[in-house]
Structure formats: structure tokens, C-alpha cells
Amino acid sequence: MIVLFIIIVVVLLFCLMAFFGAPYLPSNNAEIRKAFRNLYKISGKDLLIDLGSGDGRVLKIASDFGAKSVGIELNPILALFSNLRLRKNKNAKTICKNYNSYDFPADATVVYVFGDSRDIEKIVSYIEKQATKIGHPLYLISHAFTTEKYKPEKKYRAYYLYKIKGEDEK
């Protein structure tokens, strides 16, 4: 009975997430690695933020390339799983919250998003505000979705690279 209750709660939680943004659908590990090699060469100089970080795989791979990373994940089960997975990793962590209310750290350089078509323009505006606040542009790696507002700097398979500028740089 308890197991059934837990299963129902978990299923409801995952369904509920669809109201807040993209549902959980993990990026392919090999494709993330290729994007970090061919689209945006991530390195130890970077701090990557994954908006909607799921099970933390993007964070883990970014840290394999030497970068620091922060994941923002609304689903507490995924955030917990991600933090357990990254527990021995000093350079990566997940915060359980809505990404619309997360203030980027000043040393953020690149944002990874695998969102959905409903949200991409809102996410781009949000990143613009964060770029204004921290005073430098941010690279956006968007998996699968394009924005009308910017021309991609580069495209690699299903990934698009944008340079998102703050108000002062436009």
C-alpha cells in the first residue's frame, strides 16, 4: 500500500512539473559531450548553469571538462537524485527551485537549456536580465529550440549557440 502511494506521488509530481516548464526528458550524454567539444568549448574557465537540470548529467559532463556547474531543478526528486550523483564532486551542485527566481552568480559564463517551445523566449529574456545584472554577456546552449530574438552564433546537430547580451551591451 505504501509503495503504491509513493508511486502515485512520484507520478503526480512529474506530471505537475509540466505546468511549470518542460517535462523531464534527459539529453543524450554523447551528444552533450559533442556539443561541449564542437559548439561551445567548455573549460576550467567556465561556470555553467543548467536551467531545469533533471538528473544532473549536464553538470557532471561539464565538470568532466573542468568547468564548475550549477543546476536549477524544480522537481525535488530529480534535484535529490542529482545531488546524490554529484556528492563527491566539488565543482557541481543542484539547487531545488524554480529557475525563474534564480539569481546567477557573477562568474557565470554559459547557460544550458533543454526546455520547450513555450518557454524559450521567456528564458532568453530572463538570461538577458541576468546578463545585465552581472555586467557581461552569457552564452546560451539551447538544445532543440531556437529563439526569434537572436541569430545563432553556431549550430551543431540539435544544439544552438547564442550570445545573450545585457541591456548595456545592445
Ligand X SMILES: C[S@@+](CC[C@H](N)C(=O)[O-])C[C@H]1O[C@@H](n2cnc3c(N)ncnc32)[C@H](O)[C@@H]1O
- Please provide residue 106's backbone torsions phi and psi, each rounded to the nearest 5 degrees: -60, -25
Provide the minimum distance between the beta carbon of 55 and ligand X in the complex, in angstroms, as a whole number: 7
Task: Using the CB atoms, write b or e for 106-117: b if 16+ within 10 Å.
Answer: eebbbbbbbbbe
- Give the span between the Cα atoms of 138 and 119, in whole angstroms: 18
Interface region with ligand X, contact rule CB under 6 A, candidates 39-47, 48-56, 87-95, 162-170: 48-56
Subset of 74-103 contacting ligand X (CB under 6 A): 74-75, 78, 98-100
Closest to 22 in 3D by CA, of 63, 61, 50, 48: 50
159 binds ligand X, rule: CB under 6 A: no
CB of 166 to ligand X, least distance (A): 22
Q: Which residues bind ligand X (CB under 6 A)?
A: 17, 20-22, 24-27, 50, 52-54, 57-58, 72-75, 78, 98-100, 114
